[in-house]
Structure 1
Amino acid sequence: MLRWIVLIILIFLLDFYAFQVVRTLTKSFWVYLIYWMLSVVVIVNFTYYYYNFVRGESFTHGHGYAVAFLFTLFLPKLFLVLFMFGEDLVRSISYLIQKLTKDSAHFNGRREFVSKLALGIAAIPFASFLYGITRGKYNFQVINHQLFFEDLPEAFDGYKITHISDIHSGSLESKEAIAEGVELVNKQESDLILFTGDIVNSKAEEMIGWLSVFDKFKAKDGKFSVLGNHDYGYYAYGGDIELNKSNQMEMEAVHERIGFDLLLNESRRIEKNGQHINIVGVENWGASRHFPKRGSLIDATKNIGTDEFNILLSHDPSHFDYKEMELNTDDINNHDIVIDETNVINFEKEIQLTLAGHTHGMQFGIELPFLGIKWSPVKYRYPKWAGMYKEKGKYLNVNRGFGYLAFPGRVGIWPEITVIELKKGAKAT
């Protein structure tokens, strides 16, 4: 309870500071009333949803919009605070100069120009969040890659793969908009559709109303999938082994209902003109201690030789190159921790291409490829957070996600459909 009180007090202190911009520009009582009424309603709404959050209940749309309203209203106010702090710093220095020089030319009041400038700049994130909540989350982007491999079987030269990830059906709202995204996937006419996990937020039942939408995915040679950290039921059922097991059985049935072959530390062979490649799928495995680590490359590749072409589906991109981890006794005794796992780039069998998701690009950031700008706060947690990476001759694609979680929108990081064309050619270096 105390932390909520402290948080609310801090928010109102920042809000009062930002309010000085409004006071500089108008003396209208009604403007003041609207300003504070909006603040109070948003804070009370957010506090209600999160103070009363019960583990075991799905993350609702109400929770999502409580986050959205808070971010939309208060992030722009942080810009106002920064401007006001900068101006107050200048005013303080000016005041000292005035006292030392006895020069009355320095200003004493807050300048209207600075307040207008601050308000104009704050309007940019405000408008961006509004767009992200209403349209940005459905602004599906098709991103194309052409990758060359010396060891790709010739029969697969020009083979197309569509990679999607992180549907999070429990957050979705507009079936019409999502159906358009599904249709856009199908328009790519790829040979395979590969999905890298997190089809729900916490419970398999979240997919019930969406089965008729997502069973429309089409691919010539099949659809394959793996589970993500949200698919095991931990966010709803905690450590309840029986409920988690029941949830996973339902989850496996969901993937079957929509026509996906769910790979649980398994591989499938795709044959073409007497040659083949392998689709390898591991259960969730990543560097974080907070998520299940059931993935095993050893089990998933037990039927694969040493000189074959392999595409790996692994939900968490940190699996690709994670550094050695310290495991305590509880970890070693935990049935959800696979302790003999190694990272992908050092695995004994060749994994030419790894597909992952998980990060969502944090659903917030700035990407301007023509200026070489690519940034999101999530990069400080996941160095490989979006797009195509190459290390030790092996590729990793991190999909930005098809859906969204927690914040019901996307700002600058749009939902992604990745199309990868495999080409026979010089080996990656």
Structure 2
Amino acid sequence: MLRWIIFLVVFIIIDLYAFQAFKTVTKNNWLHGLYWLITTLVIANFVFHYYGFNRRDGFSHAHAFAFGFLVALIVPKIVMLAIMLSEDIFRLPQALFRYFTEGETAKGNYFASRRQFISKMALGIAAIPLASIIYGIYKGKYNYKVFKYTLHFEDLPEAFDGYKITQISDIHSGSFDNIDKVKYGVELINEQQSDVILFTGDIVNNITEELVPYKTVFNKLKAKDGVFSVLGNHDYGDYVYWDSDEAKHKNLEDLKTLQKEMGFDLLLNESRYLEKNGQKIALVGVENWGAGGFKKAGDLKQAAAGIKKDDFKILMSHDPSHWEKEVINDDYHYHLTLSGHTHGMQFGIEIPGWFKWSPVKWRYKYWAGIYKEMGKYINVNRGFGYLAFPGRVGIWPEITVIELKKTTNNA
């Protein structure tokens, strides 16, 4: 209860400042009433869906949109709050000066009136994130982008020079609301004509049934050397309430079976060899391993038990914190690790090849794109789907294409 009181108090403070900007620009009482009506409805809808909400009970589309509408409401108002507060930094010293110099002659009105220019500027700037969030909810979540990288390795087997990998991650099928858009994304994946397709976890939000309507969509994924997958933290059903441990176990087994029926080769702390012209590279897949309270079912030693130390190795591990905490310092040299999990927070600013920023960088050191440490690479895929917030702003759904190239010491 206390957290809801704090939430409402903070929101009231934000709203009072935002409303000051609004009423400075217009004196129309009907518009003032509309402002408060929309605000009240959005907050009431959010409280209705989240008061007493237990994550283990499941997360519906209604929950997602209640959260999305709140974000669309509150972010522009925070922008206005920042601008109005900055004006108050100058108004406060002026008010104090008038208090001590004019005294009673000021008749108690020591604060100078808000400038209409500042209020208009606040509303204009706030309109930018508002439009971006609305676009992200209705269009951005299916705005698939193909990111292409070429990585060079001295010890890559010659037969795999030019080998192409398509990586996708974080499908979160329970969040989708437009199957035709998802079909388009699958067609775009196949258009890359890669040698292999690798999926790095979180195919559902919570339960296997979410994936059933999309079985005939994702079973269309095709690559010469197959489609391989691993589990992410959401795939275990840990975030919903189950009547029994047996029901939870059955859900996971059903998910494994469904992936097999879709043509996915699910790697559960195990490995496969990809062969070409008599040469081979090792593909290693671990179950989820994540720092910060996430499930640690991944067992890197077990997964690599069937391969040799000097093999060229590609590791599939859902959470990039695994690479940071365990993989990068492992005795086995994992040339390339493929992860997902972060979604790039589904929010940020990115100019490919030039600049990228998201608040998620404060939680994950490796959060989107290619990184290289100690002669090893990791790609953190931004995710094919979305979760919680029903959209994407600036950080678009991703299809990664990585081409492996062999170099020499003189290259």
Shorter-chain TM-score bucket reads over 0.9
Alpha-carbon offset, residue 253 of structure 1 = 1.1
Aligned residue in 1 for 2:121: 117
> Post-superposition shift, 1:369?
3.8
Q: Which residue in the other structure is 1:356 paired with?
A: 339
Cα displacement (A) at 1:247: 1.5
- Whole-Å Cα distance in 2 between the matches of residues 368 and 179 of structure 1? 27
- Secondary structure at 1:248 match in 2: helix
Segments of 5+ residues of structure 1 without an aligned counterpart are 323-342
The two structures have a TM-score, normalised by structure 1, of 0.91
Letter matched to residue 178 of structure 1: V
Of residues 140, 149, 154 in structure 1, which corresponds to 2:153? Answer: 149
Pair 1:292 & 2:295 matched: yes
How far apart are residue 428 of structure 1 and its match?
Answer: 12
Q: Is the 8 A contact 1:67 1:406 kept in 2?
A: yes
2:379 pairs with one of 397, 400, 405? 397
Runs (5+) with no aligned partner, structure 2: none
For the 8 Å contact 1:252–1:262, the answer to whether it is kept is yes
CA distance in 2, matches of 1:288, 1:92: 43
Q: Report deviation, 1:316.
A: 0.2
Q: Tell me the SS of whatever aligns to 1:243.
A: helix
Equivalent position to 1:384, from 366, 380, 383: 366
Contact 1:228 1:316 in 2 (8 A): yes
How many residue pairs get matched? Answer: 406
Matched, 1:237 2:241: yes
Other structure's SS at 2:44 match: helix
**Change beyond 3 A, Cα 1:355–1:428:** farther
Q: 2 CA distance for matches of 1:250 and 1:35?
A: 48
Match of 2:275 in 1: 271
The 5 A counterparts of 1:268-347 are: 268-289=272-293, 291-322=294-325, 343-347=326-330
**Separation in 1, partners of 2:402, 2:243:** 38
Instruction: Describe how 1:57-72 pairs up with structure 2 within 5 A.
Output: 57-72=57-72
Partners of 2:153 and 2:245 in 1: CA distance: 43
> 1 CA distance for matches of 2:29 and 2:261?
58
Contact 2:58 2:241 (8 Å CA) reproduced? no
Change over 3 Å in CA distance of 1:118–1:55 after alignment to 2 = closer
- Kindly indicate whether residue 170 of structure 2 is the aligned counterpart of residue 188 of structure 1: no
Q: CA deviation at 1:248?
A: 1.1
Match of 1:39 in 2: 39
Q: Which of 414, 419, 425 is the equivalent residue of 2:396?
A: 414
SS of residue in 1 equivalent to 2:193:
coil
List per-residue Cα deviations over 1:341-390 (Å, max 9, x = no partner).
xx1111122210000000000000111246x3211111111010000000
RMSD between aligned residues: 2.0
Q: 1:76·1:126 contact (CA, 8 Å) conserved in 2?
A: yes
Matching residue of 2:137: 133
The one-letter code matched in structure 2 to 1:353 is: L
Flag the 1:169–1:427 CA change in 2: closer, same or farther, 3 A: farther
Q: Which residue of 1 aligns with 2:260?
A: 256
Alpha-carbon distance in structure 2 between the residues aligned to 1:256 and 1:415: 25
Q: Structure 2 vs 1, CA of residues 111 and 284 (structure 1 numbering), >3 Å: closer, same or farther?
A: same
Report which stretch shifted further, 25-34 or 356-365. Answer: 25-34
Kept in 2, the 8 Å contact 1:77–1:122? The answer is yes
CA contact (8 A) 1:237 1:243 kept: no
SS at structure 1 position matched to 2:405: strand
Query: For residues 56 and 251 of structure 1, what CA distance do their matches in structure 2 show?
Result: 18
Cα displacement string for residues 33-75 of structure 1 (whole angstroms, at most 9, x for unaligned residues):
1100111111111111111434543311001001100000111
Structure 1 residue 13: deviation in Å? 2.5
Question: Which residue of the partner structure matches residue 374 of structure 1?
Answer: 356
Q: C-alpha separation between the residues in 1 aligned to 2:409 and 2:288?
A: 29
Percentage of identical aligned residues: 57
Return the TM-score normalized by structure 2: 0.95
**Residue 11 of structure 2 aligns with which residue?**
11
Match of 1:84 in 2: 84
Partner SS, residue 239 of structure 2? helix
